[in-house]
Amino acid sequence: MSLKSCYRYLWGEVEQVGWKGWTKMWNFFIPPKVKHFFWQVCSVKLRGRRVDVPDKCVLCLDGAESSNHLFLQCSLARSFWEQKGWLGVGSRDMAFLEWVRNFFSSKNEEQSCEMIMFCWSVWQFRNRKVWHNENVDVDKVAALSRAFLQGWQQAQFQGGAARARLREGTQVWKKPAIGRFKMNVDAAIGADGKRGLGWVIRDSSGIFVAAGWLKHLEFGRP
């Protein structure tokens, strides 16, 4: 039985899977485990994922933790949606699945992939906060979602599984020597003149280790 067949089998056990938008999501060029995570989030309550869910959101300490809260109502998620101009997709009080439906129908595939990856990253940092009390902010969450997706897509490119779907000019990431780490750095200047610098560190297996950034940099003239 294929992975997609397993998904379809599971769909029959969940009330909300009749929505045709799932077919679109299975074709997105994102990691299968992220698709599975997102399907679970939309189809099953967090408490049904065999994890202990705190009564209160550990990221904002305001409101009971649920899919609706964690990905729509939490101040961390809303900060990112606001940065992207996506708050207008729907009301913060609507069910998360309904919000996702609105998103898929009004945004393109690239934006939908970015949204799904961010939700996955929110869940990763939520777990880090629960188990390691790691500090979390929206920039760190966004950096992980971008780095993980980029690394996965480049791995598919190297394996020849998805060459046609990668944009022309994509540079292939090369692993460092065993026991070493590699840091990739990028900088950008926005339309408003603001400058930023970000970096991602991965180990010799290509696994994400850390990410950082600096915002609103100022450079003097020589």
Q: What is the pLDDT along the chain (222 residues), one digit of tens a residue?
A: 344 444 443 434 334 445 667 778 888 999 999 998 998 888 765 554 445 556 788 999 888 888 889 999 899 999 999 999 898 777 767 888 889 999 999 999 999 999 999 999 999 999 999 888 988 889 999 999 999 998 888 887 766 544 555 554 445 567 888 888 888 777 666 556 666 667 778 788 777 676 666 665 555 444
Q: How far is CA 221 from CA 84, 217, 218, in A?
A: 32, 13, 10
Residue 77 near residue 100, CB atoms below 8 Å: no
Burial of 65 (0-12, 13-18, 19+ CB in 10 A): buried
Residue extents of the structural domains in the chain: 3-162, 174-222
Q: HSE-up of 151 (CA within 13 Å, CB side)?
A: 21
pTM: 0.64
Burial of 89 (0-12, 13-18, 19+ CB in 10 A): buried
Residue 118 near residue 141, CB atoms below 8 Å: yes
